[in-house]
Structure 1
Amino acid sequence: MPMDPSHRLREDPALPPSWYAASTAPRAPLPPLDGDTQVDVAILGAGYTGLSAALELAARGLRVVVLEACRIGWGASGRNGGQVLSGYGCEVETLEALVGTDDARTLFDFSRQGVQLVRERIDRHRIDCHWVPGHASVPIRPRQARTLRQSMDALVDRYDYPVQWWDQPTLRAQLDSPRYLGAMFDPLGGHLHPLAYAHGLADAALQAGVVIHEQTPVLELLRHPRPSLRTATGTVHAAHVLLAGNAWLDDIAPELERHVMPVGTYIGATPVLGAERARALIRNDMAVSDTGLVLDYFRLSHDHRVLFGGGASYSSLPPPGLARVMQRRLWTVFPQLQGVPLDYLWGGYVDITTHRAPHWGRLTPDIYFAQGFSGHGVAAANLAGQVIAEAIAGQAGRLDVFERIPRRPFPGGRLMRMPLLVATMALVRLRDLVA
């Protein structure tokens, strides 16, 4: 969804149009699969989960092939908001209700390891992805502020997590917006250029001996006698398979599809504002997300734009008047940008679960999957790849904890699950508006 062509950078034509694609150098394509091959592990999807697992497995000496239907980072890994956060798509209270307090604490600690894993990989592999520390969760309404304070107290008291409460004056000293009632500030979170990070992760995997085939859609998962991934140009036979397609599995494993819902979300980028004007908006350069049901999330780019995300679509089409809606939301947060257009506007799918908790595990003893990142996947997807690689290598302790999260399909089947979700979210949004 490109906007005004003035001020635009040259985009990589092999990727969906976005500021991310425009601000990274085009890459030479990797060759599609040609013929049959046999390896230790076959992976569907060259996003964070698949690349993370491939890198871990190659370090253990296993032969790994990754099949990507389009290009590296083509899906959510190259289009997301770039916010790197502990936790998952649900609150810790939801985790406690699902698995109990002990496992909830263990899962949250795993998520902290996911953030640290991203940081370590950036340093170890010298990935130039513009990492910046700091994240603020900001409430708009009093009900949201009360809930956020309760969540913060739980994180500090029961999870030993070093978040801080900022009152309005403290927040306003860092974020020049009149919209918010305070903030829960997380010094361990942060943000990065997601597509540049995906490319860096792929380069590290390639250097470790992983084979990646782009433009190679998987047509069928063959389960017997050994798992295989069949494409139009060949089949990869393996001892183990990892399905890391998330919202883009396309009936490869129908029993997984009913557990997630693909929901569209959108991001815009302003023109270059200049360093002084941009830093006047977010003085400490942190990432920010509000706590609404359909949240806004935003941050500064390394070239001094505002990257502003939000909205939701429950069909394959963007909402009507998307550009006007996104600009209006941006101007509501930053009235001083009234009249500033969006140079870029793009979107993609997040794969949500009914409870917003992750859905990782095994279809069979030899077929693994990870999905359901629920808009919280940069750190979690890196973690998922590492956890599943450990399980394939014979150390399944961490994956076993994730498999204890109850698996709840969306009600209504394939035809009715979307209308039921829309109706439920409308009721929750109404509650927020009157609170």
Structure 2
Amino acid sequence: MSAPSHTTSYYAASANDKNIRPALTSHVEADVCVIGAGYTGMSTALHLAESGFKVVVVEATRIGFGASGRNGGQIVHSYSRDIDFIEKHYGKDTGTEMGKMAFEGGRIIRRLVKDYNIQCDLKDGGIFAACNDKQMRELESKKALWEAHGHKDLELLSAAGTQDYVGTDRYHGALLDKSGGHFHPLNLVLGEAAGFESLGGVIYEDSPVTRVEEGTKAKVFTDKGSVTADFVVVAGNAYLGGLIPKLQSKAMPCGTQVITTEPLSEAQQKALLPHDQCVEDCNYLLDYFRLSGDGRLIYGGGVTYGAREPGKVESLIVPKMLKTFPQLKGVRVDYAWTGNFLLTLMRLPQFGRIGSNIYYAQGYSGHGVTCSHLAGKVLSDAIQGQAERYDVFASLPQYPFPGGTTFRIPYTAMGAWYYNLRDKLGI
């Protein structure tokens, strides 16, 4: 049987590094064993290696196989629930501390790209687009909220002003975040992996973990080997499966779909996104899009609850793309794929410990690009004895979905239908 590889995405086809790392076939020791070579795992491993730790990463399939190598490639700050929600539900102090970290993930990405010369088509600027007047008022509130927490690189755009950035008359206005941005997500995590290896780190692919044994020194087992370590970091997220049952019940995998067009002419690119910035709208089931480094339009959106594979991604996403850019009718779609992210009930990330030396971070709820990089830094600090920031996240309650694994999908889909209807009605 052939080894599992990446999904048939534009990102996989244009990956800078197609080398396959060996599987774990022996028994090794390390200071830290990281399970999962996505953004959370690689950010953690790289930060620890920079501090002199001996780190081993075990990956079930390929580096960036999951959401880290399939996402929209956008730097979007804060969390899936914003700072005001956190303050309201968990207190002013928690909101203040999480507000201090809400814009750090993007800075971490830019620092790693610079320090390790990662070639991932990183470009500046992101836009939140309002589909109705209610959403525009919410963007005004978001600007005030973020500025109150120290984030100043923001500008409100009128409907006409938005058309200077996005070639459509669909939007009622927008919020321009000059410190947002976009990049090739798989090449980012592959570059982080190369940076980690340059510091002596070791990555094993094709090495699914079969069990984790707690103890003074924890032990991570695969079919053909094991890692004994002082600390373990569980970073499988939506692709963790049932490895840690107590984590499986706290979150639900969900799928999102993405397409990539054929390369567009320079004139087409300028007509769609004149300033080459990324865009996401403000709907509950949002659309997001940007140009690739070689001039294709990457367009994603929608959610399938329970991570079901859609029968035909193009049939779901092309109508969304043409609603935004009808001028693209007839443009060829070269790539289409789906990927899973991990949704939590409160749509806030879940950090915690199992015993004293097994750490986890998961459930970014569609907001994982920046938060996962932040998680890696915070996890690294916690393992080094500076756990204050980690404990802010770990203090958030972690509720299971109502209805258990049987009913969580229909319950969540019903909720999404309700919010989607509100978006369409503008209420």
| TM superposition score normalised by structure 1 | 0.94
Find the counterpart in structure 1 of residue 269 from structure 2.
Answer: 278
**1:43, distance to aligned residue in structure 2 (A):** 0.7
Find the counterpart in structure 2 of residue 131 from structure 1.
Answer: 122
How far apart, CA to CA, are the structure 1 residues paired with 2:294 and 2:130?
Answer: 28
Q: Deviations over 1:200-229 (max 9, x none)?
A: 000000011111100000011111353111
Find the counterpart in structure 2 of residue 248 from structure 1.
Answer: 239
CA contact (8 A) 2:259 2:335 kept: yes
Find the counterpart in structure 2 of residue 74 from structure 1.
Answer: 65
Q: 2:222 aligns with which of 222, 231, 240?
A: 231
Find the counterpart in structure 2 of residue 257 from structure 1.
Answer: 248
CA contact (8 A) 1:132 1:286 kept: yes
Q: 1:115 aligns with which of 106, 110, 122?
A: 106
Equivalent residue runs for 1:364-375 within 5 Å: 364-375=355-366
How far apart, CA to CA, are the structure 2 residues paired with 1:134 and 1:297?
Answer: 14
CA contact (8 A) 2:213 2:220 kept: yes
Aligned residues: 424
CA contact (8 A) 1:39 1:63 kept: yes
Q: Deviations over 1:87-121 (max 9, x none)?
A: 01112221112332332232132131211111011
Find the counterpart in structure 1 of residue 314 from structure 2.
Answer: 323
Equivalent residue runs for 1:176-191 within 5 Å: 176-191=167-182
**1:364, distance to aligned residue in structure 2 (A):** 1.9
The amino acid of 1:113's aligned partner reads E
Kindly indicate whether residue 367 of structure 2 is the aligned counterpart of residue 376 of structure 1. Answer: yes
Find the counterpart in structure 1 of residue 50 from structure 2.
Answer: 59
Give the gaps of 5 or more residues in structure 2. Answer: none
C-alpha RMSD of the superposition: 1.6
Find the counterpart in structure 2 of residue 5 from structure 1.
Answer: none
Find the counterpart in structure 2 of residue 37 from structure 1.
Answer: 28
Q: 2:93 aligns with which of 77, 102, 107?
A: 102
- % identical equivalent positions: 37
Q: Structure 2 vs 1, CA of residues 231 and 158 (structure 1 numbering), >3 Å: closer, same or farther? A: closer
Q: Structure 2 vs 1, CA of residues 17 and 398 (structure 1 numbering), >3 Å: closer, same or farther? A: same
**1:199, distance to aligned residue in structure 2 (A):** 0.7
Kindly indicate whether residue 132 of structure 2 is the aligned counterpart of residue 141 of structure 1. Answer: yes
How far apart, CA to CA, are the structure 2 residues paired with 1:176 and 1:201?
Answer: 34
How far apart, CA to CA, are the structure 2 residues paired with 1:404 and 1:225?
Answer: 24
Greater mean alpha carbon deviation, residues 364-373 or residues 143-152: 143-152
CA contact (8 A) 1:359 1:371 kept: yes
Give the gaps of 5 or more residues in structure 1. Answer: 1-11
How far apart, CA to CA, are the structure 2 residues paired with 1:83 and 1:232?
Answer: 36
CA contact (8 A) 1:94 1:355 kept: no
How far apart, CA to CA, are the structure 2 residues paired with 1:360 and 1:321?
Answer: 35
How far apart, CA to CA, are the structure 2 residues paired with 1:88 and 1:32?
Answer: 35
How far apart, CA to CA, are the structure 1 residues paired with 2:306 and 2:333?
Answer: 23
**1:323, distance to aligned residue in structure 2 (A):** 1.3
CA contact (8 A) 1:98 1:406 kept: no
CA contact (8 A) 1:98 1:405 kept: no
The amino acid of 1:391's aligned partner reads A
CA contact (8 A) 1:295 1:310 kept: yes
Find the counterpart in structure 1 of residue 412 from structure 2.
Answer: 421
**1:266, distance to aligned residue in structure 2 (A):** 0.8
How far apart, CA to CA, are the structure 2 residues paired with 1:409 and 1:148?
Answer: 31
Kindly indicate whether residue 325 of structure 2 is the aligned counterpart of residue 353 of structure 1. Answer: no
The amino acid of 2:129's aligned partner reads V
SS at match of 2:163: helix
Q: 1:28 aligns with which of 11, 14, 19?
A: 19
SS at match of 2:102: helix
How far apart, CA to CA, are the structure 1 residues paired with 2:362 and 2:286?
Answer: 21
SS at match of 1:169: helix
**1:26, distance to aligned residue in structure 2 (A):** 4.8
CA contact (8 A) 1:86 1:108 kept: no
SS at match of 1:174: coil
